[in-house]
Copies of this chain bind each other. A is one copy, B any other.
Amino acid sequence: MTTPGTFTITARDGAARRASLATAHGVVQTPAFMPVGTQGTVKSLCPRDLREIGTQILLGNTYHLYLRPGDELIARLGGLHRFMAWDGPILTDSGGFQVFSLAGLRRLTPDGVEFASHIDGSRHFFSPEKVVSIQQNLGSDIMMVLDECVPYGADFDYTKKSLALTTAWAQRCREAHPPLHRGQLLFGIVQGGFYPELRAESAAQITSLGFDGHALGGVSVGEPRPEMHAIIHSSVPHLPDNKPRYLMGVGAPQDILAGVAAGIDMFDCVLATRNARNGTLFTSTGKVNVKKAAFRDDDSPLDPACSCYACRTFSRAYLRHLYIAKELLSYRLNTIHNLTFFLSLTKRIREAIETGGFASLKAEMDAIYPPDAPSGE
């Protein structure tokens, strides 16, 4: 087996890269999209469904798994892979984003962050060492450092001060997890808000700490889409070329294409799965609401260009019926379809980079999913 962390770039097309990243549970072909499995499951899907639709790597949420069922329980049961019966690569976040967006009664100190569980209000403390320990218990292939995710609109001084904290925490995480300990990779996270000079400063600090890869955090936090794309393009050049780059929590099709164009290798987003459960489906001709009246009598597949089980098997009329009747199968079929869309998109991106056709693919997709569309859409 190739040493975990081995990152091999096999093709380039502009700043876009086609590469592979070795992990203890297999090789990930990049650019890659990671479905989100918050609580040890991608909602409504089995591991074999995930394989069938072409999932290479899953994301698990440290905050959720720590609270329920608990990382120590999962460790006793053999780790997250065995617990959820997924034998492919898993990346876990640090839990920081959920603490700042989901938990209550936060108190930030230089040593970490105290918070109240969104489930039962119980109080907990995440230090850099604690989130490393949790992720070691989970046994994920790629661990993330604890960072402070600065909200959109934070001023320069706050953002600069936060950046220093994030760097100090990153260093403590690195020290708590020796390189390749138990085969688990550790990625650093660059913050700096929407100030390019702070992004550069953060990148200089984070990339000096010897991580196995680097992420951009604090993106897709409510900013207009052009600002998102601008900060991605100005930040990525500060990340080393020879290690994987991960854009956290992004995104829509146009954001993935913008990220790849800037040189990003990895993406995750709840948009695909959450929208699926809300009846918003991504297709080769644009987004569509499965409830739309025109689907009522429509015997054709949702997306004739899609090869997923839902499109191969059922009609628009049936998918509409399931959604309106609030049937559990609706969430499942919609999720299979949306994830297939994003996994197929990244597969097409990989093929396009190999053949020098990325710009053409991006132009084609941008006509369907416009880069200037409001980011809420």
A residues with CB within 8 A of B? 39-41, 43-48, 68-69, 73, 76-78, 83-85, 296-297, 299, 309, 313-315, 317-318, 320-322, 324-325, 327-329, 331-333
Contact = CB atoms under 8 A, between A and B. Distances in A.
Contact of A68 (B47, B68, B318, B325): B325
B317 A77 contact: yes
Contacts of A309: 46, 48
A318 B313 CA distance: 30
B73 A318 contact: no
Contact of A43 (B46, B296, B317, B327): B327
Contacts of A84: 318
A84 to B, nearest CB: 7
Contacts of A313: 46-47, 85
Contact of A322 (B41, B77, B317, B333): B41
Contacts of A85: 313-314, 318
A315 B41 contact: no
A84 B329 CA distance: 11
A328 B77 contact: no
A299 B347 CA distance: 36
List the 7 closest A-B pairs by CB distance, nearest first. Answer: A44-B328, A69-B321, A41-B329, A39-B325, A85-B313, A43-B328, A41-B327
Contacts of A327: 39, 41, 43
A227 B48 CA distance: 45
Contacts of A332: 44, 46, 328, 332
A300 to B, nearest CB: 11
A43 B77 CA distance: 30
